[in-house]
Amino acid sequence: MKFLADFFPVLLFFVAYKVYDIYVATAVAIVASFAQVTIHWLKHRRFENMHLVTLAIMVVFGGATLLLQDEMFIKWKPTVINWLFAAVFLGSHFIGQKTIIQRMMGQAMTLPDPVWFKLNVSWVLFFIIIGFINLYVVYNFDTDTWVNFKLFGLMGITFAFVILQIPFLTKYIQTDEENNGSNDERGKP
């Protein structure tokens, strides 16, 4: 359900573009981003940083698109967001005890520090590359193709990237039986 909520503005952008045009779609995405942040706050009584960052960039780039009637601003938004995420993930190597990926996923799995480091670096590279891929589509294809890519292409590439990490991570994931067995052996004299 959270996955759908995170893509709510993108889905509405896509539908509004198909029914109207890029400018109506941009206005709808701005309103949807505000709604996303508001609904999350009303439900959880806290803001999610990713939603706030996305909202701020959406307002700036979407607002410039509407004000200047230049669709290039909204087309650059995914690249800016992905490169900002790359900078944050990279910066987490130097700030604090844990990388950002470890802070986000540390409750779900236990990995050695070098593996957390590699995983975080892989996400940095992913965000940089996906930003360049977006620009390639922006400058080499029409707006209709870019809108389709924004929803289906970016989501598909992200999903494939996550799936490709599974074989790398599975060798570090322990089952409950393995965890209980190691605890039982520690308790023996």
Backbone angles phi, psi at 172, to 5 degrees: -105, -10
Query: 47, 40 in Cβ contact below 8 A?
Result: yes
Residue 174 DSSP label: -
How far apart CA 182 and CA 189 sit, in angstroms, is 13
Per-residue model confidence as pLDDT tens for the chain (189 residues) = 555 567 788 999 999 999 999 999 999 999 999 999 999 899 999 988 888 988 999 999 999 999 999 999 999 999 999 999 999 999 998 988 888 888 888 777 888 888 899 999 999 999 999 999 999 999 999 999 999 999 999 999 999 999 999 888 887 766 545 545 544 444 444
Kindly tell me the burial class for residue 178, based on how many C-beta atoms sit within 10 Å of its own C-beta (0-12, 13-18, 19 or more): exposed
**What residue spans define the domains of the chain?**
1-68, 71-174
